[in-house]
A and B are shown apart, each in its own frame.
Chain A
Amino acid sequence: MIDTPVWVQVVYLVAAVCFILALKGLSSPKHARAGNLLGAVGAVMACVVVFFYAELDHLVPILVAIAVGTVVGVVGAQRVQMTQMPQLVALFNGVGGGAAALVALLELADMVEGDHGEFALAATAFTIVVGSVSFAGSMVTFAKLQELMTSRPVLFPGLPVLFGGGLLVAVALSVMTVTSTAVWIGIVLALVGLLLGVLLVLPVGGADVPIVISLLNAFTGLTVAAGGYVLGNTVLLVAGTLVGASGTFLTKLMAAAMGRSVGNILFGALKGGSTLGAGEASDRPVRSGGPEDVAILLGYAHKVIIVPGYGLAVAQAQHTLRELVDVLGERGIAVDYAIHPVAGRMPGHMNVLLAEAQVPYDQLKEMDDINGDFRQTDVVLVVGANDVVNPAAKTSPGAPIYGMPILNADEAQQIVFMKRSMRPGFAGIENELLFDPKTTLLFGDAKDSLGKLLSAVKAL
């Protein structure tokens, strides 16, 4: 390899600054889109300059490979439904981790001869094993979210032993990579990494999988950073480290929003405290109403808060809901959406889904901002959500969701639940709020019910 000229180093520096500003921009709704575009500019810039200085062979196959990847990426990104966003992010993350592991394997093959220093060899081993973990783990999360396999925690006797053993083998092989470098060790290391990735994600329950995607995203970032060190490339190091650090931090934020620790999410099921409960319907008596009853409740309220959940998105009812809110707004009723941080399948997912239905983001209120308002609210309309308003999070220390911050829907004057059935939510526990005297249930498919509710409100 030839040395990187100074002007290229400068371009790399500019690209690195682009990435920092991209992450900064992505943190605020106003600048998010510009930030993302800036990140793309930086990435393209860094990748283009390589062709001008590096005196590469195999240019045609490389360009063809880039073209293929671009087509696959763009088509995938354009076709995906917003409800399937978590799966797609998992998939993109996985292939990135896989690419990093392959790059490191090729580097290792070059390092067999000559003295390359123990740091570079250790970083190569790290890239291979963590990249493989990220690849395999992401594929399992994809399968869980796409429901190609059960989304319940998968446990088998000896899993912790196998996982622990795998970790030890990975460490031993990494040490061997440094002391007696050989390609076969790298290949075995990659295979062990794949096994570890699968074992890491199998015991995680469906509701927690998005947190794991975020964690694996951070893993891939660190992998890329290590790869940057191996290749002597600053932009890879900076970009990878940025993603690794911010991804780890984001994972902690998300876990905190669910009132859990990252350790508990990863290994909770191993300790017996399954993250998914019974999933059985209850036969306790509830008060159910028809669309007309609910329309009267809503139509003569002064203040209404909507609590949307994943059920809304599954029924593709966001647009109907927005119409309903518009009609209520025309009647002079103050309507807000209360968004729990983990509403939907992934933290922030609900915001994306509602944005797709052209709900303005300033109507979407975060939990901390709106929780004080429930007391003065006439009607709370819970659409396809359950666990995020379950008072058990505050009152029953034994519940799997105990400690998770919830929306204080129970403080409102009236609560309306739109549900398909009495089946519990993701957490698999009963919701006392359903049996509260203030609560009315409107059974049926969310889209269907919202449509009926909409015409009933219009008819008032």
Chain B
Amino acid sequence: MSEPIVWLTIFTLSVFVGIEVISKVSSTLHTPLMSGANAIHGIILLGAILVTGYAESMVALVVGLVAVVLATVNMVGGFVVTDRMLQMFRPRRPVAKADQDGAPR
């Protein structure tokens, strides 16, 4: 799994998936979508944990811990604030006008 071409393949396919899944988003949801996507790249926390866990010098440890804090703020804060936005979106009546949900632009 380490050959660059395998990674390039994963990368290329992910690009298409990334565009495809949001291509029909209604402008109603642009802000939560941006915020949710923002939270997802907080997964860099995983990388920050790894490099910090293998740190061999004091400087590396401190830099790593700063990265862990920043990445956690990104990830946790991002998901929480997106949820806070989305819990306010609710239809007028549970069954009313269901046909308008996700109306294509």
Give the residue name and chain of the B residue nearest to A252 (CB): B19
- Ranked 6 nearest A-B pairs via Cβ: A69-B72, A56-B53, A73-B77, A245-B18, A348-B30, A360-B92
Q: When A23-B40, A228-B47, A233-B47 are in contact, do A66 and B72 touch as well, CB less than 8 Å?
A: yes
Q: Which residues of B contact A (CB under 8 A)?
A: 1-2, 4, 7, 10-11, 14-19, 21-55, 60-61, 63-93, 96-97, 100-103, 105
A69 touches B68 (CB 8 A): yes
What would be 22 A-B contacts, judged by CB atoms less than 8 Å apart?
Answer: A23-B36, A27-B33, A29-B101, A37-B83, A43-B79, A58-B61, A69-B70, A72-B77, A82-B85, A85-B35, A92-B78, A95-B71, A96-B41, A105-B63, A225-B11, A240-B43, A247-B34, A339-B27, A360-B90, A362-B97, A362-B101, A366-B26
Complex contact B80–A363 (CB within 8 A): no
Contact of A29 with B68 at beta-carbon distance under 8 Å, contacts A221-B37, A246-B21 already known: no
Q: Which residue of A lies closest to B71 (CB)?
A: A99
CB-defined contacts of A15 to chain B, threshold 8 Å: 43
Query: Which residues A152-192 have CB closer than 8 A to chain B?
Result: none
Decide: A220 and B41 in contact? CB cutoff 8 A.
yes
Knowing A47-B43, A72-B69, A243-B40 are in contact, say whether A33-B83 is a contact too (CB < 8 A): yes
Query: A36-80 CB contact bits vs B (8 Å, 1 = yes)?
Result: 110110010011001100111111011001101110111011101
A24, A66, A244: most-surrounded residue (chain B CB, <10 A)? A66
Known: A76-B77, A227-B44, A360-B92. A22 touches B36 (CB 8 A): yes
Q: Are A77 and B52 in contact (CB under 8 A)?
A: no
Query: Given B17, B21, B23, B71, which contacts A96 in the complex, CB threshold below 8 Å?
Result: B71
A266 at the interface (CB under 8 A from B): no
B55 touches A57 (CB 8 A): yes
Q: Which A341-396 residues sit within 8 Å CB-CB of chain B?
A: 341, 346-349, 351-352, 355-356, 358, 360-364, 366-369
Among B23, B40, B44, B88, residue most surrounded by chain A Cβ atoms (within 10 Å): B44
Q: Contact at A58–B41, with CB atoms within 8 Å?
A: no
Whether A348 contacts B78 by the Cβ 8 Å rule is no
Q: Across the interface, do A221 and B28 meet the contact criterion of CB distance under 8 Å? A: no
A92 touches B29 (CB 8 A): no
The complex places the Cα of A223 from the Cα of B42 at a distance, in Å, of 11
Shortest Cβ distance from A41 into B: residue? B79
> Which residue of the partner chain B has the closest CB to A239?
B43
Q: Assess the A233–B46 pair: CB atoms within 8 A.
A: yes
Evaluate contact between B41 and A32: CB separation under 8 angstroms: no
Contact between chains at B37 and A227 (CB < 8 Å): no
Smallest Cβ distance from B8 to chain A, in angstroms? Answer: 9
A63 to B42, CA, bound (A): 16
CA of A347 to CA of B22, assembled, Å: 15
Most buried by A among B21, B43, B48, B97: B43
The bracket for how many chain A residues form the interface is 35 or more
Task: Give 1 or 0 for each of A209-231: 1 = CB within 8 Å of chain B CB.
Answer: 00001100100110111011101
- B34 to A96, Cβ gap below 8 A? no
Which one, B10, B17, B84, B90, contacts A234 given CB within 8 A?
Answer: B10
Contact across chains for B63 and A102 when beta carbons are under 8 A apart: yes
Contact across chains for B35 and A23 when beta carbons are under 8 A apart: no
* B72 CB → nearest A CB, Å: 3
Most B CB atoms within 10 A — which of A103, A240, A254, A341?
Answer: A103
The answer to whether B36 touches A249, judged by C-beta atoms less than 8 angstroms apart, is: no
Distance (whole angstroms) from the CB of B51 to the closest CB of chain A: 4
Chain A residues with Cβ below 8 Å from B83 are: 33, 36-37, 40
The answer to whether B80 and A238 have CB atoms under 8 Å apart is: no
The residue in chain A whose Cβ has the minimal distance to the Cβ of B67 is: A102
Given known A1-B50, A33-B87, A360-B91, contact A20–B29 (CB-CB < 8 A):
no
Taking the complex as formed, is A265 at the interface, i.e. its CB lies under 8 A from any CB of chain B? no
Residues of A within 8 A of B77 (CB): 72-74, 76-77, 88, 92
Given contacts A50-B50, A69-B71, A257-B27, contact A250 B34 (CB under 8 A): yes
Contacts of B52 in A (CB 8 A): 56, 58, 61-62, 65, 106
- Given A351-B28, A351-B29: A221 and B41 within 8 A (CB)? yes
Interface presence of A241 (CB below 8 A): yes
Instruction: Given A26-B36, A32-B86, A250-B22, decide whether A46 and B73 contact each other with a Cβ distance below 8 A.
Output: no
Max count, chain B CB within 10 A of own CB: residue among A23, A36, A65:
A36
| B-contacting residues, A79-130, CB 8 Å | 80, 82, 85-86, 88-89, 92-93, 95-96, 98-100, 102-103, 105-107, 109-110, 117, 119
* A2–B11 CA distance with the chains assembled, in angstroms: 23
Least CB distance from A28 to B in Å reads: 4
